[in-house]
Amino acid sequence: MNYRFDWTPIWEQRDLILSGLWMTIAVSLVSLAISIVIGFVVGTGGASGSRSARLGAALFVDTMRNIPLLIHMYIWYMALAFLKLPAFACAVLGLSLYSGAYVAEVVRSGIGAVRRGQMQAALATGLTRIQAFRFIIYPQALRIIAPSLASLFSQLIKDSSLASVIAVAELTYEAGAIEGQTFRTFEVYITISVLYLILVTVASQLVMLVPGARNDASSARFADA
Amino acid sequence: MLDVITRNLPFLLAGLWTTIHLSIWTIVGGTLLGAVLGILRYVRFPVLGTASMLFIEFIRGTPLLVVLLITYFALPALLGYKTTAYNAALLGFILFTGAYIAEDFRAGLRSVRPGLIQAGLATGLTRWQVLRFVIAPQATRIVIPSLFNQYVRLLKFTSVASIIGVTELTGAALLINARDFHPVTLLGAVAVTYLVVCYALSMVGRVLYARFAVRT
């Protein structure tokens, strides 16, 4: 092994790395927000009593999940190029639809895990359906699915690296640029790996701050889903 | 409009075939690696158990694309060897999937009730025999659904190999698109193909699970 380590070019390019890191966080946060909305809408549909809602939700989930994320991004960026969406929007749309399907499955199983009597009791006390979901079902489901959500969100952050292929200047993209200029291949990629590791760890710890998520015994079942 | 598919069908099918054998080799290698790492962690093997934990945490915190860039560019530069895009992708996929599968195996192993292990030891089986004849058969059943989840995920992720220049299904479609420019048709066809193949693979998982399921 006669590779000579030289980390100084990485330090000199820290502005690029930081701006990439910031872009990764931005892409992830926006996609996260949209995929939560998609996930809750579709997941609630999938758990509902209506047959057509369940069918629609299953169709959405199966289609979105079984198409590779890379293809999602290329579809928005190349196939639907006439929409003239900026690369950032294409990355966010691709990521949100893809992850949204995963969130939907988790939400559906979470709602299913809340005992049926809870809904009946809520309706019996005079709450509307929306209020019942808002105040009774979602808080309990959220507690159960928090570990699964945490792993989905860390997945999402890592998946955002694919945005680099449609020229979104996030962490992986900047790493490629720095590598091209300095040829410090190993140092660059190890640096961004560590940065991703930190981001993912922080993000999953934040999700676990959901009240009661940590010490809810029933949540353990879903931890590896 | 569809003639871009029919004209390039042999090339696309060759790409699909690359996707398939890349996936099969990764499934074989990744499952083996995952089993070894998972067992090392489960039995808390000295040093190697900790090493596999560190490896698993590192891989699970790193995006697949970065893993492939490491196996294609960084590792050969560091260790001074030459590799092809296909072999680098295969190595990257095996390391990546192996780390996730290791965690699935560990979860499966841990789900075997301790009473059964104690009973096995009490009947005079060695620790290895208990692992082989008592724990492993039960863990395998439990692990099948999560294994197939990983396989389907991997099958989709092989598309990322196109970025480092492997001409699998996505790579082939992108090459044809660069020449003929029919992105809607080509990407649509590719998306549908992945949909069908992934769906078929998850069906295999469901059938296997039903066959191995413990009837109570």
Interface test with B, best of A3, A63, A75, A185 (most B CBs within 10 A): A185
- With 0-12 / 13-18 / 19 or more C-beta atoms within 10 angstroms meaning exposed / middle / buried, residue A54 is middle
Asked if residue A3 belongs to a domain, the reply is: no
Q: Do the chains contact at A70 and B190, CB–CB below 8 Å?
A: no
Cα separation, A73 vs A57, in Å, equals 22
The amino acid sitting at A19 is S
Check residue A225 and give its pLDDT: 38
Q: Give me the mean pLDDT over the A101-114 stretch.
A: 94
Asked if residue A24 belongs to a domain, the reply is: yes
Q: Do the chains contact at B77 and A185, CB–CB below 8 Å?
A: yes
Asked if residue A71 belongs to a domain, the reply is: yes
Task: Identify the domain containing residue A91 by its residue range.
Answer: 8-222
Q: Do the chains contact at B187 and A81, CB–CB below 8 Å?
A: no
Q: What pLDDT digit, counting tens, does each position of B56-86 carry?
A: 999 999 999 999 999 999 999 888 899 999 9
Cα B112 from chain centre: 24
Give the residue on B whose Cα is nearest the Cα of A66: B195
- Chain B contacts in chain A segment 37-76 (CB below 8 A): 62-63, 65-71, 74-75
C-beta separation of A35 from A75 below 8 A? no
Q: Is A53 left (phi over 0), alpha (psi -120 to 50) or beta?
A: alpha
Specify the 3-state DSSP secondary structure of B123. Answer: coil
Six token digits for residue B69: 């860039």
Interface test with A, best of B12, B19, B62, B110 (most A CBs within 10 A): B62
Whether A7 has its CB under 8 Å from any CB of chain B: the answer is no
C-beta separation of B40 from B131 below 8 A? no
Query: pLDDT band for position A224 (50/70/90)?
Result: very low
Cα separation, B51 vs A197, in Å, equals 17
- With 0-12 / 13-18 / 19 or more C-beta atoms within 10 angstroms meaning exposed / middle / buried, residue A58 is middle
Six token digits for residue A6: 């030289």
Q: Number of folded domains in chain A?
A: 1
Specify the 3-state DSSP secondary structure of B33. Answer: helix
Check residue A221 and give its pLDDT: 44
| B3-212 maps to CATH 1.10.10.10 | no
Q: What pLDDT digit, counting tens, does each position of A20-59 carry?
A: 999 999 999 999 999 999 999 999 999 988 899 999 999 9
Query: pLDDT band for position B215 (50/70/90)?
Result: low
C-beta separation of A212 from A143 below 8 A? yes
Q: Do the chains contact at B66 and A189, CB–CB below 8 Å?
A: yes
Mean per-residue pLDDT of chain A:
89
CATH number at residue A75: 1.10.3720.10
Least Cα distance to A158 among B35, B96, B27 occurs for: B96
Asked if residue A2 belongs to a domain, the reply is: no
